[in-house]
Chains A and B, each alone.
Chain A
Amino acid sequence: MCNLTNIAKTVGVNKMVPTVSVPYPLGNPQLRPEDEWALRYHRTGVALDALETDVGEQTIFPVKI
């Protein structure tokens, strides 16, 4: 789970989930606490789904929030 997915790709990461920013990968101080939680819960869930997914090549898993 990282913000700079293009760098992650270059160094060979196979499964990537985009995060929000460098100082708060899974947070956002501009959101209300419940929305920030929803974002973190969702993206962490995408990472869990990614672990259970077979991919043939480097893949960025899309997030909805």
Chain B
Amino acid sequence: MLKAIHYINQFFGQVGGEDLADYEPEIRTGTVGCTQIFNSLAKDVEVTHTIICGDNFMASRTDEALARILAMLEGREFDIFIAGPAFNAGRYGAACGQVCKAVKEKHGVPVITSMNEENPGVELFHKDMFIFRGGNRATFMKQDMGKLAAFADRVARGEKLLPAAMEGYFPRGIRHEVFLGDIGREPVMAADRVVDMMIAKLRGEPYQTELPMPALDRVPVAPAVKDLRKVRLALVTSGGIVPRENPDRIQSCSATKWGKYDISALEKGFTAPEYKTIHAGYDPEQADRNPNVVVPLDAIRAYQREGRIGEVDDYFYTTVGTGTTQGEAARMGREIAAELHERNVEAVVLTAT
């Protein structure tokens, strides 16, 4: 039986929700919360300790969190390190990646985690570790944990590992030479495979390249604004600030809507409780106390009075960026940008939470 240590956040560690996202890292003997599922599914690997850390603690005090977690692991025996599953939770995904990377570098053990393909943690860490393809929400817990347990068992037994697509993790960008027969495929010579691909391509049939190129979504840097006193500037946010009634019913999570609201009369910035946040991904206490901590309209007005900037658009533009798919975010981004162009806005300050 191999020993594993499992990293989870405050929510899955049953410490609490967003209000406890600043929870300091701690290690507990045995299993906590979702860790039990792993032990019930794995046959040759057992979680002996669980590390719990709040997502905000890891995001805002990363170096300290990692140092404290590595100190907790000092002198402990373990063969595998597991984190998550993180589903589509962005901060949790980044945390799992950061912890796994640090543990792998220090202890040299296999590190495995699970995330949804939309989780930004995949892009950040897929080259450094095994990240298994996971569901987009916690209802996939048992399935995702099952994949981690099955793979951990295979590692424990020292079995030969298959290519990423067959194992079910995101490709790490490492290429191995293999004989197809050894991985259970029909042995077809490379020259035949490439000609088959070419014929399929010419016929408009589906085919799968053996050398996929990474797709990067990059936009050129916009040229600098010459003089902010002479252009119209707008404020945009994914932090969920809305008028108290949330008139357009923008969703608190997995948003598909955005809104624009008149701020022309707000000469001193946002006021509470007339404005508040509906974002379900962070503790709203401070944003509800003073929405300017999320969208700094009060500071923008001060710069306007001082003559540092000229016109501020009559509207601000807002949505919620938690659980929001990249597809929806891209669509809303295009729509907001089109609106900004139409209103002759030439400069934008966007705040993200």
Give residues in A with beta carbon < 8 Å to B.
1-4, 6-8, 10-12, 14-15, 19-27, 29, 36-37, 40-41, 43-45, 47-48, 51-58
Contact = CB atoms under 8 A, between A and B. Distances in A.
Contact of B124 (A7, A12, A15, A45): A7
B284 A27 contact: no
B298 interface: yes
A4 B90 contact: yes
Interface residues of B, number: 50
B349 A2 contact: no
A4 B293 contact: no
Given A7-B90, A25-B294, A14 B303 contact: no
27 contacts: A1-B352, A2-B353, A3-B60, A3-B352, A6-B124, A7-B120, A8-B352, A10-B123, A11-B217, A12-B219, A21-B60, A22-B21, A25-B294, A27-B292, A37-B299, A40-B292, A40-B293, A44-B349, A47-B349, A48-B228, A51-B228, A51-B349, A52-B224, A52-B226, A52-B227, A53-B224, A54-B223
A4 B300 CA distance: 22
A10 B56 contact: no
* Chain A interface mostly: loop
Contacts of A37: 298-299
B162 interface: no
B59 A3 contact: yes
Contacts of A27: 286, 290, 292-293
